[in-house]
A and B are shown apart, each in its own frame.
Chain A
Amino acid sequence: MKAILTVVGQDKVGIVAAVSNKLAALSVNILDISQTIMEKNFTMMMMLDLESTTDDFITIKNQMTELGNQLGLTIHIQREDIFNTMHKL
Chain B
Amino acid sequence: METAQILETIRMIEEEKLDIRTITMGISLLDCIDSDGETARKKIYNKITRLAKDLVKVGEDIEAEYGIPIINKRISVTPIALVAAATQDKDYVAFAKTLDQAAKDVGVNFIGGFSALVQKGYQYGDDILINSIPQALAETERVCSSVNIGSTRTGINMDAVRHMGYVITETAKKSDLGCAKLVVFANAVEDNPFMAGAFHGVGEADCIINVGVSGPGVVKRALEKVKGEPFDVVAETVKKTAFKITRMGQLVGQVASKRLGVHFGIVDLSLAPTPAVGDSMAHILEEMGLESVGTHGTTAALALLNDAVKKGGVMACGHVGGLSGAFIPVSEDKGMIDAVERGALNLEKLEAMTAICSVGLDMIAIPGDTPSETIAAIIADEAAIGVVNNKTTAVRIIPAQGKQVGDIVSFGGLLGYAPVMPVNKFASTDFILRGGRIPAPIHSFKN
Point out residues on A near B: beta carbons under 8 Å. Answer: 4, 6, 8, 34, 36, 38, 43, 45, 47, 57-58, 61, 76-87
Majority SS at the chain A contact face: strand
Complex partner residue of B68 from A6, A36, A57, A82, CB under 8 angstroms: A82
A81 to B67, CA, bound (A): 11
Taking the nearest CB of chain B, how far is it from the CB of A80, in angstroms? 8
Question: In chain A, what residue has the closest Cβ to B315?
Answer: A89
* Interface pick from B169-177, B243-251, B282-290: B243-251
Q: Is the CB of B250 within 8 A of A61?
A: no
A86 to B317, CA, bound (A): 11
Contacts A/B (CB < 8 Å), 25 sampled: A4-B1, A4-B6, A8-B7, A34-B3, A43-B7, A45-B3, A45-B6, A47-B1, A58-B61, A58-B65, A77-B67, A78-B67, A79-B65, A79-B66, A81-B66, A82-B66, A82-B67, A82-B68, A82-B248, A83-B6, A85-B251, A86-B5, A87-B2, A87-B8, A87-B244
A70 to B348, CA, bound (A): 55
Asked whether any CB of chain A lies closer than 8 Å to the CB of B35, the reply is no
Q: Is the CB of B7 within 8 A of A83?
A: no
Q: A4-B1, A36-B3, A78-B65 are known contacts; what are 15 more A-B pairs with Cβ within 8 Å?
A: A6-B7, A6-B10, A34-B3, A45-B1, A77-B67, A80-B1, A83-B5, A84-B1, A85-B248, A85-B250, A85-B251, A86-B5, A86-B247, A86-B248, A87-B8
Question: When A83-B1, A85-B247, A85-B250 are in contact, do A78 and B7 touch as well, CB less than 8 Å?
Answer: no
Taking the nearest CB of chain A, how far is it from the CB of B5, in angstroms? 4
Question: In chain A, what residue has the closest Cβ to B68?
Answer: A82
Interface string of B215-251 (1 = CB under 8 A from A): 0000000000000000000000000000010011011
Interface string of B1-44 (1 = CB under 8 A from A): 11101111110000000000000000000000000000000000
Asked whether any CB of chain A lies closer than 8 Å to the CB of B64, the reply is yes
Complex partner residue of B244 from A45, A47, A79, A86, CB under 8 angstroms: A86
Q: Is the CB of B5 within 8 A of A87?
A: yes
By a CB distance below 8 angstroms, the chain B residues around A83 are 1, 5-6, 9
Question: In chain B, what residue has the closest Cβ to A77?
Answer: B67
Q: Is the CB of B64 within 8 A of A81?
A: no
By a CB distance below 8 angstroms, the chain A residues around B247 are 85-86
Complex partner residue of B3 from A43, A57, A77, CB under 8 angstroms: A43
Q: Residue among B2, B247, B248, B250 with the most chain A CB within 10 A?
A: B247
A14 to B66, CA, bound (A): 27
Q: Is the CB of B248 within 8 A of A78?
A: no
A45 to B248, CA, bound (A): 21
By a CB distance below 8 angstroms, the chain A residues around B8 are 87
By a CB distance below 8 angstroms, the chain B residues around A36 are 3
A6 to B251, CA, bound (A): 21
A1 to B6, CA, bound (A): 18
A6 to B7, CA, bound (A): 8
A85 to B246, CA, bound (A): 10
**Closest 5 pairs between A and B when the two form their complex, measured CB to CB:** A78-B67, A85-B251, A87-B5, A82-B66, A85-B247
Question: When A6-B6, A87-B9 are in contact, do A57 and B244 touch as well, CB less than 8 Å?
Answer: no
